Protein backbone atom coordinates (compact mmCIF):
# COMPACT_ATOMS: atom_id res chain seq x y z
CA UNK A 1 0.00 0.00 0.00
CA UNK A 2 1.21 3.49 -0.82
CA UNK A 3 1.84 5.47 2.35
CA UNK A 4 -1.02 7.93 2.87
CA UNK A 5 -0.23 11.62 2.89
CA UNK A 6 -0.44 12.89 6.45
CA UNK A 7 -0.04 16.62 6.91
CA UNK A 8 2.80 17.91 9.12
CA UNK A 9 0.38 19.25 11.74
CA UNK A 10 -0.92 15.72 12.32
CA UNK A 11 2.56 14.16 12.30
CA UNK A 12 3.61 16.67 14.96
CA UNK A 13 0.91 15.34 17.29
CA UNK A 14 1.72 11.66 16.80
CA UNK A 15 4.11 11.16 19.73
CA UNK A 16 1.75 12.95 22.09
CA UNK A 17 -1.22 10.89 20.87
CA UNK A 18 0.68 7.64 21.46
CA UNK A 19 1.74 8.77 24.94
CA UNK A 20 -1.84 9.74 25.76
CA UNK A 21 -3.19 6.43 24.48
CA UNK A 22 -0.73 4.53 26.65
CA UNK A 23 -1.57 6.60 29.71
CA UNK A 24 -5.28 5.93 29.21
CA UNK A 25 -4.57 2.28 28.57
CA UNK A 26 -2.56 1.86 31.76
CA UNK A 27 -5.30 3.59 33.73
CA UNK A 28 -8.38 2.10 32.06
CA UNK A 29 -11.71 2.71 33.78
CA UNK A 30 -15.00 0.86 33.62
CA UNK A 31 -18.31 2.23 32.34
CA UNK A 32 -19.74 5.01 34.56
CA UNK A 33 -16.44 5.03 36.53
CA UNK A 34 -14.38 7.06 34.04
CA UNK A 35 -13.52 9.84 36.51
CA UNK A 36 -9.76 10.08 35.81
CA UNK A 37 -10.37 9.81 32.07
CA UNK A 38 -12.98 12.56 32.25
CA UNK A 39 -10.65 14.86 34.20
CA UNK A 40 -7.82 14.31 31.72
CA UNK A 41 -10.05 15.06 28.72
CA UNK A 42 -11.52 18.18 30.32
CA UNK A 43 -8.07 19.47 31.24
CA UNK A 44 -6.85 19.02 27.66
CA UNK A 45 -9.90 20.70 26.13
CA UNK A 46 -9.75 23.67 28.51
CA UNK A 47 -6.05 24.10 27.75
CA UNK A 48 -6.80 24.03 24.02
CA UNK A 49 -9.37 26.80 24.50
CA UNK A 50 -12.51 25.08 23.23
CA UNK A 51 -15.85 26.58 24.21
CA UNK A 52 -18.49 25.03 26.44
CA UNK A 53 -16.16 22.48 28.02
CA UNK A 54 -18.25 20.63 30.58
CA UNK A 55 -19.07 17.31 32.13
CA UNK A 56 -22.10 15.48 30.78
CA UNK A 57 -23.76 12.14 31.46
CA UNK A 58 -21.91 12.14 34.80
CA UNK A 59 -18.54 10.88 33.51
CA UNK A 60 -18.57 12.12 29.91
CA UNK A 61 -17.25 15.36 28.41
CA UNK A 62 -18.43 17.70 25.70
CA UNK A 63 -16.97 20.83 24.13
CA UNK A 64 -17.43 22.83 20.95
CA UNK A 65 -15.33 24.63 18.35
CA UNK A 66 -17.16 27.62 16.92
CA UNK A 67 -15.98 28.40 13.42
CA UNK A 68 -15.33 31.85 12.05
CA UNK A 69 -17.52 31.22 9.00
CA UNK A 70 -21.19 30.22 8.66
CA UNK A 71 -21.74 26.54 8.01
CA UNK A 72 -23.20 23.27 9.30
CA UNK A 73 -23.23 22.07 12.90
CA UNK A 74 -21.28 18.81 13.06
CA UNK A 75 -20.51 16.41 15.90
CA UNK A 76 -17.61 14.02 16.46
CA UNK A 77 -18.17 11.20 18.95
CA UNK A 78 -15.53 9.15 20.78
CA UNK A 79 -16.28 6.58 23.49
CA UNK A 80 -14.01 6.42 26.53
CA UNK A 81 -14.67 3.36 28.74
CA UNK A 82 -12.83 0.09 29.26
CA UNK A 83 -13.91 -3.49 29.92
CA UNK A 84 -13.80 -5.68 33.06
CA UNK A 85 -10.82 -7.80 31.98
CA UNK A 86 -7.45 -8.72 33.46
CA UNK A 87 -4.99 -7.66 30.77
CA UNK A 88 -2.52 -10.22 29.44
CA UNK A 89 -0.64 -8.25 26.75
CA UNK A 90 2.60 -7.94 28.71
CA UNK A 91 2.97 -4.29 27.68
CA UNK A 92 4.94 -1.95 29.92
CA UNK A 93 1.79 0.19 29.93
CA UNK A 94 -0.61 -2.69 30.63
CA UNK A 95 -3.46 -2.05 33.01
CA UNK A 96 -3.29 -3.86 36.33
CA UNK A 97 -6.51 -2.62 37.92
CA UNK A 98 -9.00 -5.16 36.54
CA UNK A 99 -10.17 -2.83 33.76
CA UNK A 100 -8.74 -2.96 30.23
CA UNK A 101 -9.06 -0.99 27.02
CA UNK A 102 -9.67 -4.16 25.01
CA UNK A 103 -11.78 -2.48 22.34
CA UNK A 104 -9.66 0.49 21.26
CA UNK A 105 -11.49 3.24 23.13
CA UNK A 106 -8.15 4.59 24.38
CA UNK A 107 -7.29 5.13 20.73
CA UNK A 108 -10.64 6.78 20.09
CA UNK A 109 -9.92 9.33 22.82
CA UNK A 110 -6.40 9.99 21.51
CA UNK A 111 -7.72 10.58 17.99
CA UNK A 112 -10.62 12.70 19.28
CA UNK A 113 -8.36 14.99 21.31
CA UNK A 114 -5.88 15.36 18.43
CA UNK A 115 -8.79 16.22 16.15
CA UNK A 116 -10.13 18.76 18.66
CA UNK A 117 -6.73 20.45 18.81
CA UNK A 118 -6.42 20.70 15.03
CA UNK A 119 -9.98 21.97 14.52
CA UNK A 120 -9.62 24.50 17.33
CA UNK A 121 -6.35 25.72 15.82
CA UNK A 122 -8.21 26.25 12.52
CA UNK A 123 -11.40 27.76 13.93
CA UNK A 124 -11.03 31.01 12.01
CA UNK A 125 -11.38 29.12 8.73
CA UNK A 126 -13.91 26.58 10.00
CA UNK A 127 -17.37 26.90 8.50
CA UNK A 128 -19.97 26.14 11.16
CA UNK A 129 -19.30 24.32 14.42
CA UNK A 130 -17.90 20.99 15.57
CA UNK A 131 -19.25 19.55 18.81
CA UNK A 132 -17.04 16.92 20.46
CA UNK A 133 -18.76 14.21 22.50
CA UNK A 134 -16.49 12.02 24.63
CA UNK A 135 -19.02 9.40 25.64
CA UNK A 136 -18.94 7.23 28.74
CA UNK A 137 -20.55 3.83 29.24
CA UNK A 138 -20.58 2.44 25.71
CA UNK A 139 -19.63 -1.04 26.88
CA UNK A 140 -22.28 -0.99 29.58
CA UNK A 141 -24.78 0.85 27.33
CA UNK A 142 -26.52 4.00 28.46
CA UNK A 143 -23.93 6.70 27.90
CA UNK A 144 -25.15 7.82 24.49
CA UNK A 145 -28.79 8.06 25.52
CA UNK A 146 -27.91 10.04 28.59
CA UNK A 147 -25.75 12.49 26.63
CA UNK A 148 -28.62 13.05 24.22
CA UNK A 149 -31.11 13.51 27.06
CA UNK A 150 -28.79 16.10 28.61
CA UNK A 151 -28.71 18.11 25.38
CA UNK A 152 -25.39 17.26 23.73
CA UNK A 153 -27.01 17.56 20.29
CA UNK A 154 -28.76 20.85 21.01
CA UNK A 155 -27.53 24.47 21.16
CA UNK A 156 -26.65 24.35 18.36
CA UNK A 157 -28.68 21.54 16.85
CA UNK A 158 -26.34 18.92 15.41
CA UNK A 159 -27.00 18.38 11.71
CA UNK A 160 -24.49 15.58 11.04
CA UNK A 161 -22.58 13.22 13.32
CA UNK A 162 -19.43 11.20 12.63
CA UNK A 163 -17.21 8.78 14.49
CA UNK A 164 -14.88 5.84 14.04
CA UNK A 165 -14.09 2.51 15.63
CA UNK A 166 -10.58 1.09 15.64
CA UNK A 167 -10.78 -2.30 13.94
CA UNK A 168 -7.96 -4.74 14.63
CA UNK A 169 -9.21 -7.30 12.10
CA UNK A 170 -7.98 -5.17 9.18
CA UNK A 171 -4.51 -3.70 8.61
CA UNK A 172 -3.67 -0.07 9.17
CA UNK A 173 -4.53 1.92 6.06
CA UNK A 174 -7.81 0.14 5.39
CA UNK A 175 -11.27 1.54 6.10
CA UNK A 176 -14.66 -0.15 6.16
CA UNK A 177 -17.86 1.86 5.69
CA UNK A 178 -21.30 1.05 4.32
CA UNK A 179 -24.58 2.87 3.75
CA UNK A 180 -27.20 1.47 6.09
CA UNK A 181 -26.48 -0.84 9.03
CA UNK A 182 -22.78 -1.27 9.84
CA UNK A 183 -23.23 -2.65 13.38
CA UNK A 184 -26.05 -5.00 14.30
CA UNK A 185 -28.90 -4.44 16.68
CA UNK A 186 -28.08 -6.13 19.98
CA UNK A 187 -30.87 -7.70 21.99
CA UNK A 188 -30.02 -8.72 25.53
CA UNK A 189 -32.23 -11.45 26.92
CA UNK A 190 -32.64 -12.97 30.36
CA UNK A 191 -34.41 -16.26 31.05
CA UNK A 192 -35.32 -17.53 34.49
CA UNK A 193 -36.30 -21.20 34.74
CA UNK A 194 -38.22 -21.86 37.95
CA UNK A 195 -38.59 -25.35 39.34
CA UNK A 196 -38.88 -26.86 42.81
CA UNK A 197 -35.69 -27.47 44.69
CA UNK A 198 -34.72 -30.29 47.00
CA UNK A 199 -32.09 -32.88 47.83
CA UNK A 200 -29.83 -34.08 45.02
CA UNK A 201 -30.30 -37.65 46.28
CA UNK A 202 -34.08 -37.44 45.74
CA UNK A 203 -34.56 -35.73 42.36
CA UNK A 204 -37.94 -37.40 41.92
CA UNK A 205 -39.28 -35.11 44.62
CA UNK A 206 -38.17 -31.97 42.74
CA UNK A 207 -38.62 -30.14 39.48
CA UNK A 208 -34.99 -29.71 38.46
CA UNK A 209 -34.46 -26.27 36.82
CA UNK A 210 -30.84 -27.11 35.94
CA UNK A 211 -31.92 -30.03 33.76
CA UNK A 212 -34.66 -27.94 32.15
CA UNK A 213 -32.27 -25.02 31.58
CA UNK A 214 -29.71 -27.32 29.94
CA UNK A 215 -32.33 -28.50 27.45
CA UNK A 216 -33.39 -24.87 26.86
CA UNK A 217 -29.82 -23.90 25.93
CA UNK A 218 -29.54 -26.77 23.44
CA UNK A 219 -32.98 -26.13 21.94
CA UNK A 220 -32.30 -22.43 21.47
CA UNK A 221 -29.50 -23.29 19.05
CA UNK A 222 -32.18 -24.33 16.55
CA UNK A 223 -33.69 -20.84 16.38
CA UNK A 224 -31.24 -19.38 13.87
CA UNK A 225 -30.46 -22.59 11.98
CA UNK A 226 -34.11 -23.56 11.47
CA UNK A 227 -36.10 -20.32 11.60
CA UNK A 228 -33.99 -17.68 9.86
CA UNK A 229 -33.45 -17.46 6.11
CA UNK A 230 -29.80 -18.43 5.43
CA UNK A 231 -29.51 -15.25 3.35
CA UNK A 232 -30.24 -13.18 6.47
CA UNK A 233 -27.92 -12.62 9.43
CA UNK A 234 -28.72 -13.58 12.99
CA UNK A 235 -26.79 -14.78 16.02
CA UNK A 236 -28.19 -16.14 19.29
CA UNK A 237 -25.72 -16.81 22.09
CA UNK A 238 -26.29 -17.84 25.68
CA UNK A 239 -23.34 -16.29 27.47
CA UNK A 240 -24.16 -16.84 31.14
CA UNK A 241 -25.82 -19.50 33.29
CA UNK A 242 -26.22 -19.03 37.01
CA UNK A 243 -27.91 -21.54 39.32
CA UNK A 244 -27.30 -23.62 42.39
CA UNK A 245 -25.03 -23.24 45.39
CA UNK A 246 -23.54 -26.75 45.86
CA UNK A 247 -23.56 -30.17 44.29
CA UNK A 248 -25.96 -31.90 46.66
CA UNK A 249 -28.75 -29.31 46.39
CA UNK A 250 -31.20 -28.98 43.50
CA UNK A 251 -32.03 -25.23 43.36
CA UNK A 252 -35.36 -23.56 42.89
CA UNK A 253 -34.33 -21.61 39.82
CA UNK A 254 -31.68 -21.02 37.18
CA UNK A 255 -30.95 -17.73 35.40
CA UNK A 256 -29.39 -17.53 31.97
CA UNK A 257 -28.68 -14.53 29.78
CA UNK A 258 -27.36 -13.91 26.33
CA UNK A 259 -27.42 -11.84 23.19
CA UNK A 260 -29.20 -11.80 19.84
CA UNK A 261 -27.63 -9.90 16.93
CA UNK A 262 -29.58 -8.97 13.80
CA UNK A 263 -29.68 -6.29 11.11
CA UNK A 264 -33.37 -6.55 10.26
CA UNK A 265 -36.32 -5.78 12.56
CA UNK A 266 -38.46 -8.57 11.05
CA UNK A 267 -35.70 -11.12 11.64
CA UNK A 268 -35.33 -9.94 15.22
CA UNK A 269 -39.07 -10.25 15.84
CA UNK A 270 -39.04 -13.79 14.42
CA UNK A 271 -36.04 -14.83 16.52
CA UNK A 272 -37.51 -13.42 19.73
CA UNK A 273 -40.89 -15.03 19.13
CA UNK A 274 -39.41 -18.42 18.34
CA UNK A 275 -36.97 -18.25 21.26
CA UNK A 276 -39.75 -17.67 23.76
CA UNK A 277 -41.87 -20.42 22.20
CA UNK A 278 -38.99 -22.84 22.69
CA UNK A 279 -38.40 -21.75 26.29
CA UNK A 280 -42.12 -22.13 27.04
CA UNK A 281 -42.35 -25.55 25.45
CA UNK A 282 -39.20 -27.01 26.98
CA UNK A 283 -39.91 -25.77 30.49
CA UNK A 284 -43.49 -27.00 30.32
CA UNK A 285 -42.22 -30.40 29.30
CA UNK A 286 -40.16 -30.59 32.49
CA UNK A 287 -42.92 -29.21 34.70
CA UNK A 288 -41.07 -25.95 35.25
CA UNK A 289 -42.05 -22.33 34.70
CA UNK A 290 -40.15 -19.53 32.99
CA UNK A 291 -39.67 -15.77 32.70
CA UNK A 292 -38.34 -14.26 29.45
CA UNK A 293 -37.20 -10.60 29.31
CA UNK A 294 -35.39 -8.71 26.56
CA UNK A 295 -34.19 -5.24 25.60
CA UNK A 296 -32.71 -4.06 22.30
CA UNK A 297 -29.93 -1.64 21.37
CA UNK A 298 -30.73 -0.46 17.81
CA UNK A 299 -28.47 -1.14 14.85
CA UNK A 300 -25.89 1.50 13.88
CA UNK A 301 -27.38 2.80 10.63
CA UNK A 302 -25.30 5.09 8.41
CA UNK A 303 -26.91 7.79 6.31
CA UNK A 304 -26.13 6.93 2.65
CA UNK A 305 -24.89 10.44 1.79
CA UNK A 306 -22.67 10.64 4.87
CA UNK A 307 -21.32 7.14 4.23
CA UNK A 308 -20.55 8.12 0.63
CA UNK A 309 -18.67 11.19 1.92
CA UNK A 310 -16.56 9.02 4.22
CA UNK A 311 -15.95 6.47 1.46
CA UNK A 312 -14.85 9.11 -1.06
CA UNK A 313 -12.63 10.87 1.47
CA UNK A 314 -10.99 7.60 2.55
CA UNK A 315 -10.48 6.51 -1.07
CA UNK A 316 -8.81 9.80 -1.94
CA UNK A 317 -6.44 9.44 1.01
CA UNK A 318 -5.79 5.69 1.12
CA UNK A 319 -6.68 4.45 -2.36
CA UNK A 320 -9.99 2.98 -3.43
CA UNK A 321 -8.55 -0.54 -3.14
CA UNK A 322 -8.18 -0.01 0.62
CA UNK A 323 -11.77 1.06 1.24
CA UNK A 324 -14.34 -1.67 1.61
CA UNK A 325 -17.79 -2.36 2.92
CA UNK A 326 -18.70 -4.66 5.76
CA UNK A 327 -21.44 -5.05 8.31
CA UNK A 328 -20.45 -6.71 11.57
CA UNK A 329 -22.50 -8.31 14.32
CA UNK A 330 -20.92 -6.19 17.03
CA UNK A 331 -23.09 -3.48 18.54
CA UNK A 332 -22.49 0.13 19.55
CA UNK A 333 -24.69 2.81 21.04
CA UNK A 334 -23.48 5.24 18.39
CA UNK A 335 -26.83 4.06 17.04
CA UNK A 336 -28.68 6.55 19.25
CA UNK A 337 -26.73 9.55 17.91
CA UNK A 338 -27.43 8.41 14.35
CA UNK A 339 -31.13 8.18 15.15
CA UNK A 340 -31.06 11.85 16.13
CA UNK A 341 -29.08 13.15 13.13
CA UNK A 342 -27.77 11.67 9.87
CA UNK A 343 -24.13 10.71 9.82
CA UNK A 344 -21.67 7.87 9.46
CA UNK A 345 -19.65 5.51 11.61
CA UNK A 346 -16.70 3.73 10.05
CA UNK A 347 -14.11 1.10 10.94
CA UNK A 348 -10.45 2.11 10.95
CA UNK A 349 -8.03 -0.73 10.23
CA UNK A 350 -5.43 -1.09 12.98
CA UNK A 351 -4.17 -4.69 13.05
CA UNK A 352 -1.00 -5.02 15.14
CA UNK A 353 2.10 -5.72 13.09
CA UNK A 354 4.00 -7.70 15.72
CA UNK A 355 3.28 -11.16 17.08
CA UNK A 356 1.79 -14.22 15.45
CA UNK A 357 -1.85 -13.59 16.34
CA UNK A 358 -4.33 -10.78 15.98
CA UNK A 359 -6.41 -11.12 19.10
CA UNK A 360 -10.06 -10.12 18.76
CA UNK A 361 -11.73 -7.20 20.44
CA UNK A 362 -12.66 -7.94 24.08
CA UNK A 363 -9.75 -10.40 24.45
CA UNK A 364 -7.23 -9.98 27.32
CA UNK A 365 -4.43 -9.80 24.72
CA UNK A 366 -6.19 -7.35 22.37
CA UNK A 367 -3.91 -4.70 20.88
CA UNK A 368 -3.75 -2.40 17.87
CA UNK A 369 -1.16 -0.70 15.69
CA UNK A 370 -0.48 2.78 17.12
CA UNK A 371 0.38 4.02 13.61
CA UNK A 372 -3.39 4.00 13.07
CA UNK A 373 -3.70 7.01 15.40
CA UNK A 374 -2.17 9.40 12.86
CA UNK A 375 -4.00 7.74 9.97
CA UNK A 376 -7.27 8.07 11.87
CA UNK A 377 -6.62 11.69 12.84
CA UNK A 378 -5.78 12.71 9.28
CA UNK A 379 -8.77 10.90 7.81
CA UNK A 380 -11.13 12.29 10.47
CA UNK A 381 -9.88 15.82 9.80
CA UNK A 382 -10.45 15.36 6.07
CA UNK A 383 -13.99 14.12 6.77
CA UNK A 384 -14.76 17.22 8.82
CA UNK A 385 -13.27 19.39 6.09
CA UNK A 386 -15.45 17.72 3.47
CA UNK A 387 -18.59 17.86 5.64
CA UNK A 388 -18.13 21.52 6.55
CA UNK A 389 -16.67 22.76 3.26
CA UNK A 390 -13.63 24.09 5.11
CA UNK A 391 -9.87 23.96 4.63
CA UNK A 392 -8.32 23.36 8.06
CA UNK A 393 -4.77 23.60 9.45
d(CA 51, CA 339): 26
In sequence order, the β-bridge partners of residue 256 are 191, 241
Query: Is the distance from CB of 164 to CB of 348 less than 8 angstroms?
Result: yes
Residue among 1, 317, 286, 331 nearest 138 (CA): 331
- The residues spanned by each domain of the chain are 8-181+299-388, 185-297
Domain 185-297, CATH: 3.30.70.360
Query: Is the distance from CB of 379 to CB of 317 less than 8 angstroms?
Result: yes
- Identical topology for domains 8-181+299-388 and 185-297: no
State residue 2's pLDDT score: 59
**What is the pLDDT tens value at each position of the chain, 393 positions in all?**
457 899 999 999 999 999 999 999 999 999 999 999 999 999 999 999 999 999 999 999 999 999 999 999 999 999 999 999 999 999 999 999 999 999 999 999 999 999 999 999 999 999 999 999 999 999 987 899 999 999 999 999 999 999 999 999 999 999 999 999 999 999 999 999 999 999 999 999 999 999 999 999 999 999 999 999 999 999 999 999 999 999 999 999 999 999 999 999 999 999 999 999 999 999 999 999 999 999 999 999 999 999 999 999 999 999 999 999 999 999 999 999 999 999 999 999 999 988 778 999 999 999 999 999 999 999 999 999 999 999 999
**Surface-to-core class of residue 393, CB atoms within 10 Å of its CB (0-12 exposed, 13-18 middle, 19+ buried):** middle
Other CB atoms within a 10 A radius of the CB of residue 205 amount to 11
- What class does CATH assign to 8-181+299-388? alpha beta
Catalytic center residues: 81, 138
Amino acid sequence: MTEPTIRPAVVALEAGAIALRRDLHENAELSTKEHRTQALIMERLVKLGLDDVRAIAETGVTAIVRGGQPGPNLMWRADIDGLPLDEATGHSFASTNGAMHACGHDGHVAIGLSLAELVQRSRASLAGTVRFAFQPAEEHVGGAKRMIEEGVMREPTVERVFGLHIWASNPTGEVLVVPGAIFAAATHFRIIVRGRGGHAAAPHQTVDPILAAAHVVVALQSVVSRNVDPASTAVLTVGRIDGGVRGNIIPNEVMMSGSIRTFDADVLARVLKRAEQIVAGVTQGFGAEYQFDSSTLPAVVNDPEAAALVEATAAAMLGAENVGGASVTGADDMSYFLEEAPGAYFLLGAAPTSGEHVYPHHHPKFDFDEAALSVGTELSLRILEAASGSALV
